[in-house]
Amino acid sequence: MALILDGKALSKKIREEIRKEVESFTSKGFRPPSLAVILVGNDPASEIYVNNKRKACEKVGIKSIFYKLPEDVPEEKLLGLIYELNLNEEVDGILVQLPLPKHIDQTKVILSISPGKDVDGFHPENMGKLIAQIDDGFIPCTPLGIDILLRHYGIEVEGKDITIVGAGFIVGRPLSLLMLWRNATVSVCHIYTKDIKKFTKEADILISATGVPHIIKEDMVKEGAVIIDVGISRLKDKIVGDVDFERVKERVSAITPVPGGVGPMTVTALLLNTLKAYKRKFSHLTSTTNP
Ligand code: GUN
């Protein structure tokens, strides 16, 4: 029987630590950390994700400042808002929920966010730090959440064969760099991969981030492997992942559930990144060793 990697329980524990750390600042009279969250349009999934992020912020004492812009907002208006938030000393982190409507150039938007406030870690300066293995950048939230989950359960990454299915900009690509940083041997599969099963069957750790429900079947995994499921899809009114959980769990040593696995860890990583952005400004003022 596989070990269930409980992202919900771990998130609860980490978020309580974050709450205490935030309180240690605010109790000394510092303003709370703050995250500006921008949602453009009415995509129902994005609305749910943004709501979850905002609620999680409030629960740990991070102030979330919400901007909801109409679907047809001109690109210059969004860029203008980000420009103001970059300058605002009271704002520690800026998050623009993706995807954006087609008339807005996503790259332009990501480039416009100040790297020091880019708690999503999508700016090339932060992606570059991930490649260069420089610790003071922001690592994108889903890869960071997965890394924390693996460490918590003592799942060794170094020297392991890791297959990532999905090479997207938000998860697959940065995750491959992070796992390489942790000294794994990484294979990345995408829609042009000739034979995905060849790679999934060999993996000690298989991470799927495609958004295609149940694309990973039991005959695609190695016996005893660790399975990380990043997918969140709706199938016949049920939330399911990329992995055919009920069948796959019989063959593997550990697996994340959907919901309750990677999803909560992504939000927890966002809180950690926001706290990191905040502490850069305030830590030297509270440090006892460096008065
Ligand atoms: N859309 C899906 N995942 C994410 C994420 O991690 N950050 C942002 N900004 N948008 C997303």
Provide the pLDDT for residue 287. Answer: 57
Per annotation, catalytic residue among 92, 117, 118, 120: 120
108 and 145 fall within a common domain: no
Strand-pairing partners, residue 36, are 65, 94
d(CA 49, ligand 1 centre) in Å: 8
Alpha-carbon span 143 to 171, nearest angstrom:
6
CATH code assigned at 96: 3.40.50.10860
Strand-pairing partners, residue 67, are 38
User: Is 36:93 a contact under the CB 8 Å cutoff?
Assistant: yes
The 10s digit of each residue's pLDDT in 256-266 is: 999 999 999 99
For residue 128, tell me if it sits in a domain: no
176 and 222 fall within a common domain: yes
149 and 99 fall within a common domain: no
Largest distance between two CA atoms of the chain? 59
247 and 150 fall within a common domain: yes
84 and 146 fall within a common domain: no
53 is catalytic: yes
State how many domains the chain has: 2
Q: Mean pLDDT, to the nearest integer, of 35-52?
A: 97
pLDDT band of residue 12 (cuts 50, 70, 90) is very high
Q: Is residue 290 pLDDT above 80, yes or no?
A: no
CATH code assigned at 245: 3.40.50.720
pLDDT band of residue 1 (cuts 50, 70, 90) is confident
Regarding the beta carbon of 120 and ligand 1, being less than 6 Å apart is answered: yes
pTM of the model: 0.97
Provide the pLDDT for residue 291. Answer: 40
214 and 169 fall within a common domain: yes
Q: Which of 142, 141, 133, 138 is nearest to 164 (CA)?
A: 142
Structural domain range at position 182: 141-263
CB atoms within 10 A of CB 71: 12
For residue 122, tell me if it sits in a domain: no
96 and 42 fall within a common domain: yes
d(CA 182, ligand 1 centre) in Å: 23
What is the three-class DSSP state of 63? strand
Integer-rounded Cα Rg, in Å, for the chain is 19
d(CA 96, ligand 1 centre) in Å: 8
182 and 257 fall within a common domain: yes
Q: Is residue 43 pLDDT above 80, yes or no?
A: yes
Q: Which atom of ligand 1 is nearest to the CA of 98?
A: 10
Q: Mean pLDDT, to the nearest integer, of 16-42?
A: 97
Residue identifier of the C-alpha nearest atom 4 of ligand 1:
98
Q: Is residue 129 pLDDT above 90, yes or no?
A: yes
